[in-house]
A = this chain, B = another copy of it.
């Protein structure tokens, strides 16, 4: 077993030239003869040379690593965003380090520290539900590396952001439900402190008012949007004297929980109550009845986030400003609201 890895020095010795010449040859420097380049590349292959990334990263002051912070990778949305990030960034010579916050603020801070410590060249993040204190994100900015937010972002940070139009999504949903004859539309939403959920709530309220329906505080609920939350809040809605005839849930998981409860109570969906989720996770089309939902264009978001990062790296003189890319959301109508 060859204990030691091949270095440029080994190649240099083999050919009786200097390591510097080898380095330049491998980078196709114009001041190296074609003959030498060929020889270097041949020997490099023979000795199975693998460049030492740490050494060049140290010397060049950049690691070619991009840190990614997401709440959890097990949703189709995040894994699909990550897939695109990887595809675009790999092509540009970057690798990504993925970390999960599990929706915990504390874990998120640890992850950011870890990434900064690993000398990443930039961070692409989507915030945990819990995150309100932005000091750790300010830390990234003051470190001088690009910070790109997606989906769960925050205007106050004044950085690049890519997401969908949450406010408009709510309008799409309410309009659709009203067109189906609904008059009492409930909203099981996320917490207002998270900007995207706040936008969905605001969109919901404005759309209801715009369509001359009354606002009923009992029909507007904030939660963490887990399956369990969906179950619990749906049970509560069913206890109301005046039940809703439609429920707009701000996540597919919570919508799934709500659907279970409706099924258990033998309430017909969509006939008795119409249901709409958010995120267009694959299971929405697989459950019975299938759940209408909002497509978030995860692939576009991933691609745009990666491209935005590369743009920042290419033009570091551009000063960081709030630069939002907002994609149009799309309502996918399925059986639960037909």
Which one of B72, B99, B144 contacts A79 once the chains associate, using CB atoms below 8 Å? B72
Number of interface residues of A (CB under 8 A): 50
Give bound CA distance, A72 to B75, whole Å: 11
Interface residue A260 (Cβ < 8 Å from any Cβ of B): yes
Which one of B50, B58, B114, B256 contacts A54 once the chains associate, using CB atoms below 8 Å? B58
Q: Mark A247-289, 1 if CB is under 8 A from B, else 0.
A: 0000000001100100100000000000000000011001110
Known pairs A65-B97, A96-B97. 5 more at Cβ < 8 A? A3-B144, A53-B117, A73-B74, A74-B76, A257-B286
Interface residue A198 (Cβ < 8 Å from any Cβ of B): no
Interface residue A224 (Cβ < 8 Å from any Cβ of B): no
Nearest Cβ on chain B to A159's Cβ, whole angstroms: 15
Which of A3, A76, A110, A288 has the most chain B CB atoms closer than 10 A to its own CB? A288
Interface residue A314 (Cβ < 8 Å from any Cβ of B): no
Nearest Cβ on chain B to A82's Cβ, whole angstroms: 7
State the 7 A-B residue pairs at the shortest beta-carbon distance, nearest first. Answer: A74-B79, A73-B73, A98-B98, A54-B58, A73-B79, A54-B57, A97-B97
Nearest Cβ on chain B to A141's Cβ, whole angstroms: 9
Interface residue A219 (Cβ < 8 Å from any Cβ of B): no
- Does B1 contact A144, Cβ atoms closer than 8 Å? yes
- Does B86 contact A99, Cβ atoms closer than 8 Å? yes
Give bound CA distance, A90 to B118, whole Å: 12
- Beta-carbon contacts under 8 Å, A56-90 to B: 57-58, 63, 65, 72-76, 78-80, 82-83, 86, 90
Give bound CA distance, A78 to B82, whole Å: 15
Give bound CA distance, A30 to B96, whole Å: 38
Nearest Cβ on chain B to A249's Cβ, whole angstroms: 14
- Does A50 contact B102, Cβ atoms closer than 8 Å? no
- With a cutoff of 8 Å between Cβ atoms, the chain B residues found around residue A260 in the complex are 286, 288
Closest to A68 in B: B98
- Does A256 contact B286, Cβ atoms closer than 8 Å? yes
- With a cutoff of 8 Å between Cβ atoms, the chain B residues found around residue A227 in the complex are 282, 286
- Does B51 contact A54, Cβ atoms closer than 8 Å? no
Interface residue A135 (Cβ < 8 Å from any Cβ of B): no
